[in-house]
Amino acid sequence: MLVALTSGVRFFKGLLQLTSSRYQKLSLVGKALIWFILFFYLCSAAFIVVVTPARIAQFTYDFAQDIRHLPYGYTILIVIMIAVSFPPFIGHTTLLNLFGFTYGLRGFFPAAFGSLAGSAIVFVTLRIMFSKRLRSWTSTNEKWQALEAVIRSRGMPLIILIRVSSFPPWAWSNSLFASIAPVSLFQFFMATWFILPKVLVYVFVGSRIARLSDGEQRNHMDTQTKIVNGLLVVGGISISVLASSLVYHLMQKEIKRLHDSPSERDELAAEALEAAEEAPLLGSDSLSSP
């Protein structure tokens, strides 16, 4: 337990340092966009307080039930899942919760399918669209060449570790792997299977939140049942946070090992992993260059 808590503290410290570093590198427009997003969330929080969480939860539950009763309602969510798998979109985790919110634990199957299909479609699409630019960029970037060499030599274990890591986020992770030439579609697809336990946890949390969101179900629950459902939601979120912390710790340990290696190639690969935004399919500068 102590190890998990220590890993969690390191995870959040690393997140704060990473966030601060990236914020400082942003242009004036980028910083203004960040403040606009913060203002948007502040207004959203105020809206929730005014309208009340119970009314919003009931509206969301009723909307989810409307989707559930559509003949192919899950197809709509899968299509949205595929769309948000492309950068710069976000919302993968929220959609996983929505699958559970709408379909209960049965939502795991369409959620898993949408995650696997979306990541594979992004991978193939970006590889086809930017294959020439990718080769041109990597031929002049020593760090990226080193990262590709290390991934080529380490194989699936390193690919899986990077894949299950929470950084970069889902859509950017898809783009990152599309940028790494030695990673084949088969390797990427198989590594993506290892995120399915996380998918199950988020779907489960969504299913429990749904039970607490519907006024009719909530009124028929005794206090003990409400507490149990609340604890299950908190427990699911805690498991997800602890798992992310552990993977982050393992990822940092791998990067440190590369830094400590006498090989110059490993050192360069570690620097490339630390600055994943330099991937040719992630960086705006590389994509806008001729």
- pLDDT of 116 reads 96
In a domain, 143, yes or no: yes
From residue 200, give the alpha-carbon distance in Å to each of 18, 204, 258.
28, 6, 32
- pLDDT of 286 reads 43
Other beta carbons less than 10 A from residue 42's beta carbon: 10
- Rounded CA-CA distance 11/28 in Å is 28
In a domain, 1, yes or no: no
**Cβ-contact 144, 270 below 8 angstroms:** no
Q: Domain span at residue 105?
A: 54-277
| Amino acid sitting at position 198 | K
Which H or E element spans position 74?
helix 73-84
- Residue-wise burial string across 219-234, b where 16 or more C-beta atoms lie within 10 A, e elsewhere: eeeeeeeeeebeebbe
In a domain, 240, yes or no: yes
- pLDDT of 152 reads 81
Q: What are phi and psi of 217, to 5 degrees?
A: -65, -40
- pLDDT of 288 reads 40
In a domain, 39, yes or no: no
| Amino acid sitting at position 81 | M
- Rounded CA-CA distance 149/175 in Å is 19
Q: Which of 183, 109, 113, 184 is nearest to 144 (CA)?
A: 183
Lowest mean pLDDT among 43-47, 88-92, 285-289: 285-289
- pLDDT of 285 reads 45
The model's pLDDT over 95-137, given as tens digits with 9 standing for 90+, comes to: 898 899 899 899 999 999 999 999 999 999 988 888 777 777 6
- pLDDT of 99 reads 93
In a domain, 4, yes or no: no
Q: Which of 103, 100, 102, 83 is nearest to 92 (CA)?
A: 83
- pLDDT of 287 reads 40
Tokens of 161: 């570790």
Q: How many domains does the chain have?
A: 1
- Rounded CA-CA distance 143/229 in Å is 48
Does pLDDT of 277 surpass 70?
A: no
Residue 265: alpha-carbon gap to chain centroid: 28
In a domain, 247, yes or no: yes
- The 3-state DSSP class for residue 160 equals helix
- pLDDT of 289 reads 41
**Which pTM value belongs to this model?**
0.74
In a domain, 3, yes or no: no
- The 3-state DSSP class for residue 220 equals coil
- % of the chain surpassing 70 pLDDT: 80
**Cβ-contact 240, 148 below 8 angstroms:** no
In a domain, 284, yes or no: no
Longest dimension (CA), the chain: 65
Does pLDDT of 193 surpass 90?
A: yes
Does pLDDT of 82 surpass 90?
A: yes
More confident residue, 274 or 250: 250
- pLDDT of 8 reads 63
Tokens of 39: 């203002």
Does pLDDT of 279 surpass 60?
A: no
